[in-house]
Amino acid sequence: MVRAPFYDKNGIKKGAWSAEEDEKLRAYVQEHGHCNWRELPRYAGLLRCGKSCRLRWINYLRPDVKRGNYSKEEEQLILQLHQQYGNKWSMIATKLPGRTDNEIKNYWHTHLKKVKSNKNTKKHQNEEISGNNKSIQKRETTIISENKTNLTNEIMPLSHQIFESSPISTLSSEISTVTSNQESTQDSPPTPLFKFQEEPYDHHNNGDLWVNPLFVAENYLEAESDQNPINFGFIGGFNQPYDFELLDENYLFCQAMKELPENYQSQLYPF
DNA sequence: AATTTCCGCAACCGCAGACTC
DNA sequence: TGAGTCTGCGGTTGCGGAAAT
């Protein structure tokens, strides 16, 4: 699955690494460290360039490199971090211990890009469905946009906290304090932008936090021409709270039912 | 069963910033 | 301060296996 080994015109070996080369590099770095990648291959007895050695060490041989499939929470975190940092893979990698920038980049291109793309498509379709109320839609879009940074700032440290296995209840209470930028001034108390219902299941009795990355929220935005609150539905994973999808009630409920683990579906609150 | 197309991922390449002299 | 070198980053490539035809 990798490039076949070959030698360039300078006698430098390229392509796939052999087990013997891996062992030489590993042994050398573990004994002497890697203060100078350029000189390292010569001392280690390798016919590779320093750059290639560095890459091989960082992406494959380093003892703390985590290999294997990505967990659901890692996936969610990558999506969230990519939303915040863009293609800053090294930055994203620092938030995922054991994963390398190269690996995350590959994973993004092969898996998550599609996930994101699908979400955007679905979102677009939903906007069309709910497009009969343009003013509400416009207002919602604006507010989500305005609060994206705010939400990100609120949630980012939080997500890390959760990742370190803190209780969901913390998150729930924290999110409910997310407020509109416009209204959050030092002079006036912040007005809640979102009000969250109770979690639809007893997560405290659930051993695996990440089995249920879903919450259902109720938005109390008011239509400009109407005093009555309009309840919008949101579906969002715990790790991507600003990646909401505005949906009509029935659609929301159907989606929630679909995404919730079967044993929790009966506990989901319909709007 | 043979061939073609698609997909995943390790590795390469070029560039930019940091560092040294 | 400017040139040279080194390191790290992000984009891209190419190979081999899997899936489709």
Q: What is the pLDDT of residues A167-203, one digit of tens each?
A: 222 223 222 222 233 333 333 322 322 233 333 333 3
Mark the nucleotides of strand B covered by protein, meaning any atom under 7 Å from a CB: 7-14
Contact present, A199 and A172 (Cβ < 8 Å): yes
> Nearest residue to nucleotide C14 when comparing alpha carbons to its C1'?
A3
**Residue A112 CB in 7 A reach of strand B:** no
Q: Where are the beta strands (DSSP E) in chain A?
A: 6-7, 13-14, 194-196, 215-219, 232-236
Q: Cβ within 7 Å of strand B: which of A 56-95? A: 56, 59-60
Confidence of residue A205 (pLDDT cuts 50, 70, 90): very low
Mark the nucleotides of strand C covered by protein, meaning any atom under 7 Å from a CB: 5-12, 14-17
Confidence of residue A7 (pLDDT cuts 50, 70, 90): confident
Confidence of residue A122 (pLDDT cuts 50, 70, 90): low
Give the nearest nucleotide to A91, CA to C1'.
C9
Confidence of residue A43 (pLDDT cuts 50, 70, 90): confident
Q: Where are the beta strands (DSSP E) in A205-262?
A: 215-219, 232-236
Contact present, A155 and A175 (Cβ < 8 Å): yes
Mean pLDDT of A38-50: 88
- The pLDDT, as a whole number, for residue A233 is 31
Task: From the CA of A260 to the C1' of C21: give the distance in Å.
Answer: 37
Q: What are the phi and psi torsion angles at A119 (to 5°)?
A: -60, -45
Confidence of residue A123 (pLDDT cuts 50, 70, 90): low
pLDDT at A230 over 50: no
Contact present, A179 and A150 (Cβ < 8 Å): yes
Mean pLDDT of A2-8: 81
Please, what are the domains in chain A? Answer: 6-61 (1.10.10.60), 130-265 (no CATH)
**Residue A181 CB in 7 A reach of strand B:** no
**How far is A78 from A19, CA to CA, in rounded Å?**
31
Predicted structure pTM score: 0.53
**Residue A42 CB in 7 A reach of strand B:** no
Q: Is A102 exposed, middle or buried (0-12, 13-18, 19+ CB in 10 A)?
A: middle
**Residue A236 CB in 7 A reach of strand C:** no
Percent above pLDDT 90 for chain A? 1
Task: From the CA of A264 to the C1' of B3: give the distance in Å.
Answer: 47
Taking each helix axis from N to C end, the angle separating A72-85 and A134-163, rounded to the nearest 10 degrees, works out to 120
